[in-house]
Amino acid sequence: MTRTRTASHLVSAVGLAMLVALATASRAEAGAFIFSGEGDLDVISHPVGYNGAGGPLIVSVCIDPTSANAADMVIPTQNIINTMNNLAPASPNVTTLSMPGATDWESVALHELGHCGFAFAHVNAATESGLSGNNRNYTKATDGVDNSFDTDDGVDNIIGSADDVRDDDVNLHWFRLGSNNPCDPTLPATIDSTTYARNTASLPGGDLFAANADFTVCNDLGFVNTEAIMQQGTFTNEAQRGLAGDDVATARLGMAGLDEIQGTADDYTVTFVYAGLTTSCDLVIDFDNGQTGFAVCSANATNFSGDHWSVTTGNMFYNTGANWFFNSVPAGPTVTPTPTVTPTPTVTPTPQVDHFVMYKAKGSTRIDLPNNGKFPVRDYNLLLDDIELSNADVDDPENYQVKRERSLLVPAVKNAGAPLFDADLHYIRYQIKEAKEGAGAFVAPSYPKAQKHEKRVWSLLNQFGTINVQTKKVEAMLVPAAKDLVALPPAPGNHTHYICYQASATKDVTDQTPDAGGKGKFRKDLQAYFGDQFLDIDCALDRNGLPSFPGSPVAGNCLLNLSKVKSLCTPIVKADVGGAPPRVTVAPGGSNSIPTSTESLLCYQVKLASKVLSADAALLGNVSVGDSLKQSKHVKRSLSTGTAPHTQPGNQFPAPLQVDTKKTEFACIPSFVSAVVPAP
């Protein structure tokens, strides 16, 4: 492959704001982290939001709508987000660009997202070292006590390889123990401080320095056309849109958390989400010639513990002077593993969102309000993007028409467990359907129709164990709302919105669908106690007027049978339908939202238990398996009786401001998605 250099651009650190650029040099085991250096050699830096507590992180990425090339950046931005979310190492990962003489913006943007998103440093010395020419390709290090970089490329005469003689230079590049091969895409199951090291005393016998995944180094190691995306340097006529093993290993090393040990409570995962054409996000993309001569990430960070830093904000700037090529082809589908089916209960991550009990509801008729207080059912169109699906999928993102409210979700405590995360956060469930005008590009004389949902099988894990479900069609969205029994509450702030799919359990054998003659069948004894603002009143006394489950932790709660899976709701990015010419919509503009959590909600059909079926339920409620129950039904709330709760949906949704509730429908359980595959 012939490589052509671009013009170089040098940046430097300024206070706590680290500027890291993709500049000209020749092409670049785990890599290095920004903010590491002579003052702190062992720094491990983390994405926005990490503070030492484990769990899922969501990092939003957006494009400044006033930027040059804003529309051209949309697809490649979505592509680099998919690439980072997949964390799939590849070799080769360097290909020839289809536009001769151009620089591939997507490749450069992937590099800058490595800086601003994962807090990666360059794997090579790069321009910030002050070295010139090919000497910038030596592995990332400090210049030692003599304050001068030592540049001896060893016997093989390959810069950046394992036999470089670096004298008193101090290595900053994390390498794999026993290997020191940064180009190999086959990675160990465990990546943490027990399998990777920075100190060169841990190098394999005969190696003198940590190797970096430079293009020439990788070729010499047998991995042709391969290079870490975090090697500083870009070339015309080529594209580098996939991660090397070194890039993935560095990300996973950071994900081992504060204790740097994989599999402990402080581990985290990262999901990057595209927030659209806006500046209201964690990482903003913009063309600004005043900020850079080529490309740069400007990242602010905070030191929250010892050697650990986390990014607080980031901006990725580009210069219009380059001959940029903007990829217009969406990336391939998200890489997901085959669903795992096992009858053995799995350790479940701790939920970070509440359980919800869903009540069938409709807007109260209010003649004093526009449209009698009802939701407008015509042309309220929105763009919804499921964060669990690839933007390369034909049905995601897509435009949907919001029809009318169908249910009210109330936060609930399950089995007298942890208190509510947010007692004020409720949801209104709106029926939706595919819009007449889809999200595809305008082709005269009209927009294409919206794509129907592609059936998929989802592997999930929640407090009841593993389960596989098949989604059939899109049926609803959940919009954050406030509720008050006395007066109209203020609208809630930004919270996660969800798209809901009609779903049912598959016949795979899982914890919740145990083996029944070679096929999985949904459990008949799945029961749980729930308490919420309605149930605590409805279930305080049974139908005989006696206290419910007296003397137990669940006194006054309802015991519900969870009879079947009905719906899967997953987090979404919500945006205006947009487009030129404008698509039809009556929805207000500028009400975009991004998720604040990555957990999904799996909703089960419920009814009051008439008999105790579960040994766990019996123990918790001070009753016995087989005992009959006479629980009280939900008391309807309505405007006519003066009991209709006041509601205020968020995101400028105009209605309903009061709802009549009818009956208990579903219980929605926080759930973690482990895999998504097309349905057979």
DSSP assignment of 636-660 equals PB-TTTT-PPEEEESTT----SBEE
End-to-end CA distance of the chain: 41
User: What is the C-alpha to C-alpha distance for residues 303 and 42, in angstroms, rounded to an integer?
Assistant: 13
- Are the beta carbons of 534 and 417 closer than 8 angstroms? no
User: What is the C-alpha to C-alpha distance for residues 212 and 194, in angstroms, rounded to an integer?
Assistant: 20
Cα–Cα nearest to 578, from 442, 405, 674? 442
Query: Strand 456-462 and strand 497-505: pairing?
Result: unpaired
SS3 351: coil
Measured CA to CA in angstroms, residue 125 lies from 37, 53, 99, 170, 174 at distances of 12, 32, 30, 12, 14
Measured CA to CA in angstroms, residue 67 lies from 295, 481, 578, 589, 606 at distances of 14, 34, 17, 19, 50
Beta bridge partners of 462: 465
- Are the beta carbons of 176 and 188 closer than 8 angstroms? yes
What residue ranges of the chain have pLDDT lower than 70? 1-30, 332-350
- Are the beta carbons of 678 and 455 closer than 8 angstroms? yes
- Are the beta carbons of 291 and 317 closer than 8 angstroms? yes
- Phi-psi category of 616—alpha, beta or left, where left has phi over 0 and alpha has psi -120 to 50? alpha
Give the HSE-up count for residue 551: Cα atoms under 13 Å, Cβ half-sphere.
3
Cα–Cα nearest to 198, from 169, 156, 224? 169
Tell me: cis bond preceding 339? Omega within 30 of 0 counts.
no
SS3 content of the chain, % helix, strand, coil (to 5): 10, 35, 55
Spell out the residues 6+ positions from residue 502 whose beta carbon is closer than 8 angstroms to its own: 471, 472, 473, 474, 475, 566, 567
Measured CA to CA in angstroms, residue 441 lies from 332, 432, 454 at distances of 19, 22, 20
DSSP 27: -
The predicted pLDDT at position 10 comes to 28
